[in-house]
Structure 1
Amino acid sequence: MEKCNIEQIVEFIQKTFNTKEFIPLHEPRFIGNEKKYLNDCIDSTFVSSVGKYVDTFEQEFAKKVGAKYAVATVNGTAALHISLILAGVTKNDEVITQPLTFIATCNAISYIGAVPIFIDVDLNTMGMSPNSLKIFLELNCEIKNKQCINKTTGKIIKACVPMHTFGHPCKIDELKELCDKWHIVLVEDAAESLGSYYKDKHTGTFGKLGAFSFNGNKIVTSGGGGVIVTDDGTIAKRAKHLTTTAKIPHPYEYVHDEIGFNYRMPNLNAALLVAQLEQLELFLKSKRELAKLYEGFFEKIDFVDFVKEPKETSSNYWLQAIKLENKEQRDRFLEFTNRNGVMTRPIWRLMSELDMFASCQKDDLKNSKYLQDRVVNIPSSVRV
Structure 2
Amino acid sequence: MTGKPSLVPLAIPNLLGREADYLQACISSTFVSSVGPFVTRFEDSLARLSGAEATTVVCSGTVALQMALTGLGIGAGDLVMIPSLTFIATANAVSHAGAAPWLVDCDAAGWTMDLDRCRHLIETETEPAPGGRRHRTSGQVLKALMPVMIMGATLDFAATVALAREYGLKVVVDAAAAIGAAGPDDTPLAATGVDAVCYSFNGNKTVTCGGGGAIAGNKGLIDRIRHLCSTARVGRDYDHDEIGYNFRMTNVQAALGVAQLERLDDFLAAKLRIRNAYADFAGGYQSLHPFPEPPTGRSVHWFSGFWYSGPDATLPSRFREHMQSAAIDLRPFWKPIHLQAPYRTALASPMPVVDDLWTRIFPLPCSTHLTDGDLDRVLTAAREFWNVHD
Q: How many residues align?
A: 363
Deviation at 1:238, TM superposition (A): 1.0
Aligned-residue Cα RMSD (Å) equals 1.5
For the pair 1:295 / 2:279, whether they are aligned, the reply is yes
Deviation at 1:373, TM superposition (A): 2.5
Deviation at 1:377, TM superposition (A): 0.6
Deviation at 1:289, TM superposition (A): 1.2
| Mapping 1:59-138, distance limit 5 Å | 59-138=44-123
Identity %: 32
User: Do the aligned partners of 2:131 and 2:169 also contact (CA within 8 Å) in 1?
Assistant: no
Deviation at 1:135, TM superposition (A): 1.2
User: Do the aligned partners of 1:287 and 1:380 also contact (CA within 8 Å) in 2?
Assistant: yes
| Residue equivalent to 1:12 | none
| Residue equivalent to 2:16 | 31
| Residue equivalent to 2:200 | 213
Q: Distance in 1 between matches of 2:362 and 2:93?
A: 25
| Residue equivalent to 1:309 | 293
Residue 335 of structure 1, aligned match among 309, 321, 328: 321
User: Do the aligned partners of 1:309 and 1:315 also contact (CA within 8 Å) in 2?
Assistant: yes
| Residue equivalent to 1:228 | 215
The residue type equivalent to 2:208 in the other structure is: T
Q: State the Cα deviation string for residues 334-357 of structure 1 (Å, max 9, x = none).
A: 111112200012221111111211
The residue type equivalent to 2:203 in the other structure is: G
Q: Distance in 1 between matches of 2:361 and 2:320?
A: 10
Deviation at 1:201, TM superposition (A): 2.0
Between stretches 147-156 and 211-220, larger displacement belongs to 147-156
Q: CA distance change for structure 1 residues 41 and 327 in 2, over 3 Å: closer, same or farther?
A: farther
User: Do the aligned partners of 1:205 and 1:229 also contact (CA within 8 Å) in 2?
Assistant: no
The residue type equivalent to 1:373 in the other structure is: T
Q: Distance in 1 between matches of 2:321 and 2:118?
A: 36
Residue 375 of structure 1, aligned match among 357, 361, 372: 361
SS in 2 for 1:305: strand
TM-score (structure 2 length as normaliser): 0.90
The residue type equivalent to 1:139 in the other structure is: T
User: Do the aligned partners of 1:129 and 1:171 also contact (CA within 8 Å) in 2?
Assistant: no
For the pair 1:280 / 2:264, whether they are aligned, the reply is yes
Gaps of 5+ in 2: 371-390
Deviation at 1:215, TM superposition (A): 0.2
Deviation at 1:249, TM superposition (A): 2.1
Deviation at 1:170, TM superposition (A): 2.6
| Residue equivalent to 2:240 | 256
Residue 153 of structure 1, aligned match among 138, 150, 163: 138
Q: Distance in 2 between matches of 1:43 and 1:119?
A: 50
TM-score (structure 1 length as normaliser): 0.91
Q: State the Cα deviation string for residues 74-93 of structure 1 (Å, max 9, x = none).
A: 11011111001012112121
Deviation at 1:153, TM superposition (A): 1.7
The residue type equivalent to 1:228 in the other structure is: I
Q: State the Cα deviation string for residues 11-68 of structure 1 (Å, max 9, x = none).
A: xxxxxxxx95310000111121111111011100010000000000000111112111
For the pair 1:238 / 2:219, whether they are aligned, the reply is no
Deviation at 1:292, TM superposition (A): 1.4
Q: Distance in 1 between matches of 2:250 and 2:104?
A: 36
The residue type equivalent to 1:350 in the other structure is: P
